[in-house]
Chains A and B, each alone.
Chain A
Amino acid sequence: MKNGKLLAVDNLTKVFTKGQGLVKSKIEAVSKVSFDLELDRPEILTLAGESGSGKSTVAKLILGFETPTTGSILYKGEPIANLKGKKDFMRAVQPIFQNPFETFNPLKKVQSYFHETERNFTQTSPGQYPLTEKSLQLVGLTSAEIKDKYPSEMSGGQLQRASIARALITNPSLLIADEPVSMIDASLRMSVVNLFKTLKEEAQVSIIYITHDLATAYYISDRIAIMLRGQFVELGSVKKVLDNPLHPYSQLLKTSVPAPDPRDRWTEDIALSDLETKEYTRKGCKFAGRCPKVFDLCHEQEPDHHAVDDRLVKCHLYA
């Protein structure tokens, strides 16, 4: 295979326009993002960071649901633009969408998604759905539990597990899992992330794991990218980045992970972020308005990615 990459994302940018008339603003929801996944070495890459920093947009661009403004995405050496809508690609690259309440059409029974996927992408005999049953089992559900149910008749966590199970039916090589466990409580969450680990290790599935849960990210992923306002501000091995974050935003993120202990509450107030659009359109570093280590240059000039201690950090402190 050309260049030996499963996925090669290069200088990816997506511009959106928000609002209308006088309040219209343009934002780079994804800004100059680059990363690769190797073909012969399955990997779990976490995208973490700010709400609204472009994580889901990166996912949609890879899936071909949005078109890049500039930059390129190659899947096994082939541009996504040529692949999208093709059956092989749709089978091999499976999404798990962020909000399970939006994933499923409220007027359609949940079961029908499974049966459609199994009919369209696999070779089982008509009327038989062995893979549906098997993939439901992997996430702790049974087909009896989804039988005849509309999405509104299931809880958030049940729907989320259903959408994970649906994605597994086609035996994909790349899973794009957008907040797959956000509504799943502690005891089941571990079984889902353990499932991801097993898929990587035993079925060679690479996973882009988008999450706010740094603990499970630390537990299952190989690398992590911390996103802020469209940019990768830090990218490297999950151990390096989370044990010892270098970018001031990564540091804030890590210290904000709540402790499950009432004696250890958040006490200091933090600066709430500026308006989303304002930070997006800020010149210089996007974090300058909130950064405790800010200096003059940060307001003027956008930092480059600096290679420090086996990772890339987009911050003037490391120039």
Chain B
Amino acid sequence: MAILEVNNLKAYYVTHTFGRSSTVRAVDGVSFQVNKNEIYGIAGESGCGKSTLLKAISGLVKPPLQILDGEVGYNFDDERLDILSLRDDRKRRKLRGARISLIPQGSMSVLNPVRRVRKAFEDVIYAHLDVSEKEFEELVSRHLLALGLDWTVMHTYPHQLSGGMRQRITIALSTILRPDIIFADEPTTALDVVVQRGVVQLIKKIKEEQQNTLIMVTHDMSIHANLCDRLAVMYAGEIVEEGDVQSIFSAPKHPYTTMLLDSLPKVGDSSARVSAPGAPPSLVDPPEGCRFHPRCPHVMERCRVESPVLNGLGNGHRVACFLQEGGK
């Protein structure tokens, strides 16, 4: 059963400066479902709207971000909720933290630089649980230990910690209440590969123990390969391909996915590599037709004027590309 259903979601940044308004179409008509207990990955280029998508579906919508259209439904065991229609801010906050939790990108921004780490844990726990100080300490130290962190971090200020430590602390913070759904925005980006491997190991362990659903955003395709069941690839505000992780890696259908998979060198390979052509488009004024067409090696006439929709190819693989419609 789908625990999360996102339907035609449009989330734009609308700003007004000097009487001119500008609209960034960061999430532009995105639909997907996530099944209970699965690890669902979201990949894609810098600035394509991944973080915005997570903000929108976790209900962290404040100006200039606006929801223009769409639904975000959660099917919990005991209730069904459309988070975007929850008018009450308190209810949304309650939902976040306890049932859904977001590990934001750039972990420093959640840890307040002038407060000790302990305060952050107190905030989260006392807002949702009625526990004594002793219970608080037990709960936290047990959880920290499982993440390879020690109680002394509770007394430190964020600036005293390395990037990797801060990241593990944010993961600790966002999983301590055993949420049903965890959204993780680039949780391994700041870490060395050994610690990355430890974090992936840890996320898997937390997931097994707590039986929750994980939505994992990162541009690091190797992490997706290691962790996810299914994967969505975003480009310029849209999902261009989705499928189970095996078939995306072994037989990518969208030219952008292919480019993502082909562009990185490997250790042991220093042969000169050209960079992929072009840069991602502006979301203020995205290209007509297929948004990838200016960089696409297979571009056809049609791609410049019509935008392809995400079509099923069977076995749960979906792709938005005219090449798949026999247009070759």
Point out residues on A near B: beta carbons under 8 Å: 16, 18-21, 23, 25, 48-53, 56, 98-102, 140-141, 145, 148, 153-158, 160-161, 179, 182-191, 194, 212, 214-216, 218-219, 239, 242-243, 252-254, 256-266, 269-270, 272-278
Contacts and interface: CB of A to CB of B under 8 A. Distances in A.
B106 interface: yes
A182 B190 contact: yes
Q: Among A23, A141, A153, find the residue whose CB has the most chain B CB atoms closer than 10 A.
A: A23
A270 B197 contact: yes
Given A190-B273, A260-B222, A265-B225, A218 B200 contact: no
A99 B46 contact: no
Nearest to B43: A185
Contacts, number: 221
Nearest to B279: A140
A23 B155 contact: yes
B51 A156 contact: yes
Given A156-B186, A216-B265, A258 B148 contact: no
B223 A258 contact: yes
Contact of B226 (A148, A185, A258): A258
B13 A153 contact: yes
Nearest to B261: A260
B46 A51 contact: no
B249 A260 contact: yes
Interface stretch (B2-10, B133-141, B157-165, B318-326): B157-165
B263 A265 contact: no
A190 to B, nearest CB: 4
Contact of B264 (A145, A212, A260): A260
Contacts of B220: 258
A227 B302 CA distance: 53
B277 to A, nearest CB: 9
Interface in B1-51: 13, 15, 17, 44-47, 51
Nearest to A51: B164
Contact of B150 (A99, A100, A260, A278): A278
Given A182-B189, A259-B222, A261-B249, A145 B282 contact: yes
Q: Among A52, A191, A256, find the residue whose CB has the most chain B CB atoms closer than 10 A.
A: A52
Interface in B218-271: 219-223, 225-226, 228, 245-246, 249, 259-261, 263-270
Nearest to B105: A156
A134 B264 CA distance: 26
B196 interface: yes
A258 B196 contact: yes
B155 A51 contact: no
B113 to A, nearest CB: 9
A23 B13 CA distance: 46
Given A49-B192, A190-B263, A214-B267, A256 B221 contact: no
21 contacts: A21-B155, A50-B164, A51-B165, A51-B195, A99-B163, A155-B46, A155-B51, A156-B105, A157-B46, A179-B163, A183-B46, A186-B219, A188-B46, A212-B196, A215-B269, A253-B193, A260-B225, A263-B246, A273-B198, A275-B148, A275-B149
Interface residues of B, number: 71
B46 A158 contact: yes
B309 to A, nearest CB: 24
B165 A266 contact: no
B47 A272 contact: no
Given A155-B47, A191-B275, A243-B268, A258 B197 contact: yes
B315 interface: no
B46 A256 contact: no
A161 B282 CA distance: 15
Contacts of B261: 186, 260
Contacts of A179: 163, 190
A212 B275 contact: no
A19 B152 contact: yes
Contacts of B313: none
B120 interface: no
B106 A101 contact: yes
Nearest to A106: B109
B245 to A, nearest CB: 5
A272 B195 CA distance: 8
Contacts of A275: 148-150, 152
B129 interface: no
B219 A51 contact: no
A16 B160 contact: yes
A52 B165 CA distance: 7
Contact of A215 (B149, B160, B260, B265): B265
Contact of A51 (B150, B163, B280): B163
Given A51-B165, A260-B221, A215 B193 contact: no
